[in-house]
């Protein structure tokens, strides 16, 4: 069965720390991997990754995909209290049967202390 | 560019009542879906659609109906609301190829009393 596993489940750090969140997947017919940030509202899109080894960056956030290891990491440098959120990873697959599905992990809850 | 629009934002229902949550997107996305999110449970797929006239069940379809008569709209119907359906509901859409990612609506917080 297709699955996406995120680790750690939760993390508490202090402002200024660097964090690495992990996402591993067992999914057939992989198309893309997506990262989202969710505060007390809808998930907001961070990155979409399709190719191995190419880092995507946005300010203090960056992410990279390793298709050999079936995993991705999301790095946040110089964390701020505003980074406190649940970070979700999802994988999109398209099966030969014609089934299309986004499979979500349960998320990593990050709390950044001032 | 409105993206994915969900209405209402909040709703309180009595047990046994029915209602429709609305979802509309203006990006010409083929793929549309509904999730519910409960504390500690993550996002659970209720129903999804890959185009007008085509719908399929997700993980937790019982108690919900959907239809897709146009590309833009994908309403979710609660047939006879139960307290177990108290949740936050999200609609999302994307191109079938997955290019340009997966966009979420702002959510509907539903309480069934």
Could you tell me which chain A residue has the CA closest to the CA of B4?
Answer: A42
pLDDT band at A96 (very low <50, low <70, confident <90, very high): confident
Decide if B97 and A31 are in contact by the 8 Å CB cutoff. Answer: yes
Of B27, B28, B71, B64, the residue nearest B49 (C-alpha): B71
* Coil, helix or strand at residue B84: helix
Mean of pLDDT values over B97-111: 93
Test A32 with B98 for CB contact under 8 angstroms: yes
Cα(A21)–Cα(A77) distance, rounded to whole angstroms?
12
**B93 SS3 class:** strand
pLDDT in tens, B11-46: 999 999 999 999 999 999 999 999 999 987 889 999
Distance from CA of B80 to the nearest CA of A (A): 26
Sequence-distant (6+) residues with CB within 8 A of B6 are B21, B22, B23, B89, B90, B91, B105, B106, B107, B108
pLDDT at B67: 97
What is the token pair recorded at B80? 């006879």
C-alpha–C-alpha distance, residues A22 and A65, integer Å: 10
Give the closest of B43, B90, B96 to A100, CB-based.
B96
pLDDT band at B1 (very low <50, low <70, confident <90, very high): low
Whether the per-residue pLDDT at B6 is higher than 80: the answer is yes
Pairwise CB contact (< 8 Å): A106 & B42: yes
* Chain B residue with Cα closest to A93: B98
Three-state secondary structure string covering A54-100: CCEEECCEEEEEECCCCEEEEEECCCCHHHCEEEEEEEEEECCCCCE
pLDDT at residue B22 in the model: 98
Q: Is the model's pLDDT at A83 over the cut of 90?
A: yes
Residues in chain B closer than 8 A to A48 (CB atoms): 100-101
Per-residue model confidence (pLDDT) at position B29 = 96
Are residues A32 and B42, on separate chains, in Cβ contact within 8 Å? no
Q: Average of pLDDT values for A23-27?
A: 95
CB contact under 8 A, B42 and A100: no
Question: Per residue in B45-61, pLDDT tens?
Answer: 999 999 999 999 999 99
pLDDT for residue A28 is more than 90: no
């Amino acid at each position: 069965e297709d699955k996406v596993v995120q680790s750690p489940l939760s993390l508490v750090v202090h402002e200024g720390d660097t964090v690495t969140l992990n996402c591993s997947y067992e999914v057939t017919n992989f198309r893309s991997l997506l990262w989202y940030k969710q505060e007390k509202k809808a998930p907001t899109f961070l990155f979409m990754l399709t190719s191995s080894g190419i880092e995507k960056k946005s300010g203090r956030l960056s992410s990279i995909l390793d298709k050999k290891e079936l995993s991705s990491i999301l790095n946040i440098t110089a964390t701020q209290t505003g980074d406190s959120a649940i970070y979700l990873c999802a994988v999109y697959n398209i099966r030969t049967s014609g089934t299309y599905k986004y499979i979500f992990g349960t998320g990593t809850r990050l709390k950044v202390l001032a | 560019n409105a993206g994915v629009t969900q209405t209402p934002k909040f709703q309180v229902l009595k047990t046994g009542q029915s209602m429709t949550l609305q979802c509309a997107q203006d990006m010409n996305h083929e793929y549309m879906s509904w999730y519910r999110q409960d504390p500690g449970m993550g996002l659970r797929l209720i129903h999804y659609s890959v185009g007008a006239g085509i719908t399929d069940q997700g993980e937790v379809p019982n108690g919900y109906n959907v239809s897709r008569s146009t590309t833009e709209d994908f309403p979710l119907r609660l047939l006879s609301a139960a307290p177990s359906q108290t949740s936050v509901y999200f609609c999302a859409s994307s191109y079938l190829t997955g290019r340009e990612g997966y966009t979420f609506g702002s959510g509907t917080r539903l309480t069934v009393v």
